[in-house]
Structure 1
Amino acid sequence: MSERAKGLWAKVQPGDVVVFYATGRGVIGYGVVEGRFESGEPLWPREREQGRAIWPYRIKIRVEKVFERPKPRPKGMLVAFAINKLGEEAFNELFW
């Protein structure tokens, strides 16, 4: 995550459940946060091209499930930022 999103990153805690969303596809799976860390190592293609970490705030996630078919994004699910809290109603719509 970028410097701009550091405040959101700092709120993520081990044990939090995260949902993976792909723009134009939908929800593709979920996982559990194992921890968060900072790294200056370039990871993504754009970072490698620039030779520096653009998104140094990272989250280690244990993937629990990748859906065979993407699920539609629930009405209450925001996707404007790198991390968004998913309300209980939206969570239940995806998983129950």
Structure 2
Amino acid sequence: IVYELQKLGFYNVFTQAEFPLDKAKNVIYARIVRNISAVPFYQYNYQLIDQVNKPCYFLGGQFYCSQTPTDYYAINGFSEQILMSANS
């Protein structure tokens, strides 16, 4: 904070430990508050089932097969995890 104030043009900036208050002519008190907010990070886990090359797949304890291969992917074992990170 001291360095940031000095960059703004306040050249005689001291902490209370560096300059005793009884010797100061003008005193400005500043209270520093840190704002912490939680930021969610989402992580998705899944397995793609390639139905073009493998027309049969195992899902939910059963085998599923298609007579003709399809041109889309199915998802198996989908799970989501949310991690919280504290930013200030």
Higher helix share: 1
- Shorter-chain TM-score: which interval? under 0.3
TM (norm. structure 2) is 0.20
Larger Rg: 2
TM (norm. structure 1) is 0.19
Of structures 1 and 2, the one scoring higher in RCO (CA 8 A, sep 6+) is 2
